[in-house]
Structure 1
Amino acid sequence: MRLIKFRLNGIDLFENEILAFDFFATDRVPDSSLVYELLKPIYTQKVVGLAGINATGKSTALSFIEAVLKLLSGEPLQSYSQAFYSTAFRKSFQLEALFYQDGQYYLLDSDIHYVAETEEDSSLVPLKLAFADETLWVAKRDVHLKKQLDYKEFRRIATQMIQRSTLSEEAARFLPDDVSVVSSIQKKAKPVVSALYHDAPLQTPVVNRMGGAVANVFDPSIEYLKPSDSGGSLFRLKFKRSAEEEEHFVSVISSMLSSGTIRGIELVDQAVLVLKTGGYLLVDEIENHLNKQLVGMIMSLFDSEETNPYGALLIFTTHYPEALDYMQRKDNLYFLVRNDEHRTQIIKYSDRVKRIENKKSEVFLSNYIKGTAPKYSEVAALKRSVIDRLKDEVHGHQ
């Protein structure tokens, strides 16, 4: 399954209550190694970035993307319902998702609502999600033009395949109210979806799979990290500065490694899992504990046909401008900014900047797209607050 684009309606945090992204190449494709070919002229991206300053909704947007991917994989809504809790006061929201699977294009229309946990007390804020109705469309012919990926245009070349509300009673009883009708076409097409939001403790299987191969990339002072000859969960770690190696459980090994090394091992391990299956890796704040070159190295794993032959997609958030300069296309970067109503506006970089020569970091830092840098008045107010606090502290010591 390849997610082409999606739109969520009724998401209060975002401008016009709409959260929408596309994951296909809308610009020209002079270098096909940077994208993945479905059927010409449609290519999907291999790297997508969400950039913005603090508190612009990047992590929230990423969690919604993960939820949409899991919904299209046929997973129950309850398994990722937390992503939607910010919509609970609205009672319902809608999803349009265009995806490609087994040589065909599909469009899913879903109306999702909250239902009371019990009939006795429906006054509580409802947190159980269910599908009110859904319609699944399938293209009657191949998509030959990018404009046919517009939701309205797609319906003109598509035919209705399934409508949830018209299913027979017998068919409906085999479909839980929190599982999408797309589960009816899912066979072995479910993508691997891996997400890294926070620092996680190092796990024994991860070190077994990737620790020795990548540890010294993130910490050159490590000579080797490998499983103990005795097997089990013990590992041998030797630093170049030490004459002796040490043998410990992974919990002790973790305390001897830097946060960047642990993050790097986990990140590369998850990358390999999705690269070998053409899945999705979602990383919140990709620059956490990593320098610019290492961030670029992670992106290069996805950009390369050699390491990414199946079109796996890396979707990351960042507020580190220099990381953006490793992105070689313009149509795979989104800036998230707060508008005057304090809602998040999602701006596609290629819609505002037409020249590929522009350094994306300079565009970000220059505030060329308004909202990518803190307001001067807010920074000045912070400085005044610190000065006032210092004055109070000085007076308190006199």
Structure 2
Amino acid sequence: MHLFGSNYTNNVTAIVGKNATGKTMILKLTIGILSLILNDKSISETWLKNAFFDESDVAFTTYLYSEDGFIYKDELVIANNNETNGLIIKEEKIYRKKALTSDSKKRLLDFSKSKLIMDRNNLKPDVAAILAPDDSIFRTIIKMNNYLVPQITDNTVFTNINLFISNLGDVPSEILHYLDPSIEYLRIERADTKGRQTFYRLKFKNDDKEITDQNFATIEYYLSSGTAKGISLYTQILSVLKNGGIIFVDEIENHFNHAIARTFINYFKDPSINLNNAKLVFTSHYSEFLDDLDRNDQIYIARRLDKISLTRYSSTKMRTDIMRSDVFMSDSIHGTAPEYSAYLALKKATIKKISDSNKREG
């Protein structure tokens, strides 16, 4: 997506890494800070409330490009409030500068000569009096300039469990047949305009019986986990593609045939489908997805060495003639695959456990 000058944004961003490298945490922190700054959410209403493990202050620096050609830098510090045992925004400073077409990418995020337009600790008394301690002051910038904010869609709730979301009425037969050709239809009926009462109708081909219930858990019993997740994810993706915005998906391959995950990823790469420059940010353990992406700067490697870190693949200087998946699986970038010594130790322990068990039985 073109922003200005020679500056573009990627419509697909992948975060890959082995287990316990912080991929889900990184995703939730990103969703949390965007929800706090852009969507009028308090800290307690975002994933940020689950991201603090000790008494340390946590600093976030967020850059935002506005439709009127300004770039904002929001420096925000979240801290524990010992009096309320909750989280508060301890500091927040907002800087602004005009986006110039002559600016290089290196200067894009240089705010050394920019103007400080708002300081949380130096607000007018009447403004400070109505500001909650866990609300961002950036909401003031949005309202003053009447900015349209992007839709932020969080799919991380589906990582380990299957829930169902559909605002489409009848689920399109095309997605049903793609996920499970044996399904004839799945219909969702609303008993009132507010959607407080829902009735589900599911029918399989070559079966005269229609399965009906007000509880989707009953319907889900007859669906595979991949079908249930696929319907919900497709619904969310379709909404983001129609309206623009960002969708965050954790472990996009979970419960899916990899071809289905690739289908959803490719929607965001296809200009004939992604007319509104919607963004997909996903995590995965499946390194082969990396070979499908067009650019090295679309990929971030999550690693946990001394600390959790993200490394942009384009900054690793890996040879372009080597498949990215091979680089990832071979641990050429240290910390992307289980250590070989750990593999040998596990194998030796497994052999010993089985050997000891056979000796006892003998």
TM-score under structure 1 length normalisation: 0.80
Q: 1:172 aligns with which of 94, 105, 128?
A: 128
Q: Distance in 1 between matches of 2:287 and 2:203?
A: 35
Q: 2:112 aligns with which of 155, 158, 162?
A: 155
Q: What residue number does 1:382 align with?
A: 346
Spell out the pairing of 1:71-110 with structure 2 (5 A cutoff).
71-73=36-38, 74-80=40-46, 81-86=48-53, 88-90=54-56, 92-103=57-68, 104-110=70-76
Letter in 1 for 2:329: L
State which of 124, 139, 149 in structure 1 corresponds to 2:97: 139
Deviations 1:97-128 (A, max 9, x none): 1111232211111122111144xxxxxxx4x1
* Distance change in 2, residues 1:115/1:108 (3 Å): same
1:283 shift after superposition: 0.9
How many Å apart are 1:333 and its aligned residue?
Answer: 0.2
The equivalent position to 1:191 in structure 2, one of 147, 150, 153, is: 150
Corresponding residue number in structure 2 for 1:12: none
**Structure 2: distance between partners of 1:229 and 1:98:** 41
Structure 1 residues 270, 388: closer, same or farther in 2, change over 3 A? same
Contact 1:299/1:326, CA 8 A, preserved across alignment: no
Q: Which runs of 5+ in 1 are unaligned?
A: 1-35, 119-125
CA distance in 1, matches of 2:190, 2:50: 44
SS at match of 2:9: strand
In the alignment, the residues of structure 2 paired with residue 387 and residue 112 of structure 1 have an alpha-carbon distance, to the nearest angstrom, of 49
Aligned to 2:13: 48
Query: The residue matched to 2:51 in structure 1 has which SS?
Result: helix
- Superposition map of 1:234-253 within 5 A: 234-239=200-205, 242-249=206-213, 250-253=216-219
Correspondence 1:330 to 2:296 = yes
Contact 1:302 1:314 in 2 (8 A): yes
Instruction: Please report how far the alpha carbon of residue 309 of structure 1 lies from its aligned counterpart in structure 2 after TM superposition.
Output: 2.0
- CA displacement at 1:330 relative to structure 2: 0.8
**CA contact 2:190–2:199 (8 Å) conserved in 1:** no
RMSD after superposition: 2.4
Q: 1:289 aligns with which of 255, 272, 287?
A: 255
Per the alignment, residue 66 of structure 1 pairs with 31
Q: Which amino acid aligns with 1:155?
A: S
* Structure-2 change in CA distance of 1:236 and 1:336 (3 Å): closer
Task: Give the count of matched residue pairs.
Answer: 346
Aligned with 1:203 (options 157, 160, 164): 164
Is 1:214 the equivalent of 2:175? yes
Deviation at 1:235, TM superposition (A): 1.0
| Match in the other structure for 1:3 | none
**Structure 1 residue 328: Cα displacement:** 1.3
Distance 1:166 1:264 in 2: 49
Which secondary structure does the structure 2 equivalent of 1:45 belong to? Answer: coil
Q: Is the 8 A contact 2:36 2:136 kept in 1?
A: yes
Q: Does 1:38 pair with 2:3?
A: yes
Q: Return the alpha-carbon distance in structure 2 between the equivalents of residues 201 and 141 of structure 1.
A: 43
How far 1:311 moved relative to its partner?
Answer: 1.9
Q: Which amino acid aligns with 2:212?
A: H
The CA distance in 2 between the partners of 1:192 and 1:200, in whole Å, is 23
Letter in 1 for 2:87: L
**Where in structure 2 are the equivalents of 1:258-277 lying within 5 Å?**
258-277=224-243
Provide the rounded CA distance (Å) in 2 between the counterparts of 1:335 and 1:325.
14
Does the aligned pair in 2 maintain the 1:64–1:83 contact within 8 Å? no
Query: What is the CA–CA distance in structure 1 between the aligned matches of 2:166 and 2:229, rounded to whole Å?
Result: 15
> 2:318 & 2:170 partners in 1: Cα distance?
43
Q: Is the 8 A contact 2:55 2:80 kept in 1?
A: no
Aligned to 2:137: 181
Matched, 1:129 2:129: no
Q: Residue 289 of structure 2 aligns to which amino acid in structure 1?
A: A
Q: Which letter does structure 2 place at the counterpart of 1:290? A: F
| Percent identity of paired positions between Structure 1 and Structure 2 | 29
- CA–CA distance in structure 2, aligned partners of residues 77 and 172 of structure 1: 17
Structure 2 unmatched runs, 5+: 193-197
* 2:185 match: 224
1:334 Cα deviation (Å)?
0.8
Report the Cα offset of residue 195 of structure 1: 1.8
Q: 1:293 and 1:201, CA in 2 relative to 1: closer, same or farther beyond 3 A?
A: closer
Shifted more, 303-312 versus 288-297: the winner is 303-312
Matches within 5 A, 1:341-352: 341=306, 343-352=307-316
What amino acid is the match of 1:366?
S
Q: Which amino acid aligns with 2:218?
A: V
Q: Secondary structure at the match of 1:370?
A: coil
In the alignment, what sits opposite 1:30?
none
Counterpart among 308, 332, 357 of residue 368 in structure 1: 332
The 3-state SS of whatever aligns with 1:56 is coil
Moved more, 189-198 or 43-52: 189-198
